[in-house]
Amino acid sequence: KGIKLEIIGDSNDYLGKGLSGGKIIAKISNEATFSPEENIIAGNACLYGATKGEVYLDGIAGERFCVRNSGALAVVLGTGVHGCEYMTGGQVVVLGDVGANFAAGMS
């Protein structure tokens, strides 16, 4: 259970930092004239240190997405460099491209 946060538009750095439950959904507006799989919807270091919860991003996340994730579920259309570094648990589904150094130090 927990809170559900639904964002229409983009978000800044650290979205969901330390997430310990609930659900975050960020999606583009129905009136958008651009393609979500080619545009950033969430800034850098999103879900840093998350332990539980769910995040769904209708676009690309910036650098260091899901670093030190130990239990959250995330679905995203792409990530910048250093995504999923040092993850020890949780699940991340990337439906598009990932940047360099993806999953470094994952255990």
| Cβ contact 70:78 at 8 Å | no
> In this structure, what token pair is assigned to residue 27?
């999606």
Burial 33-58 (b: 16+ CB within 10 A, else e): eeebeeebbbbbbbbbbbbebbbebb
Tell me how far apart the alpha carbons of residues 72 and 66 are, in angstroms, rounded to a whole number. Answer: 9
Q: What pLDDT score does 36 carry?
A: 95
pTM (predicted TM-score): 0.95
**Residues lower than pLDDT 50 in the chain:** none
Q: What pLDDT score does 1 carry?
A: 66
Q: What pLDDT score does 107 carry?
A: 86
- Among candidate residues 22, 26, 17, the one with its CA nearest the CA of residue 1: 22
Domain boundaries, the chain: 19-28+36-94
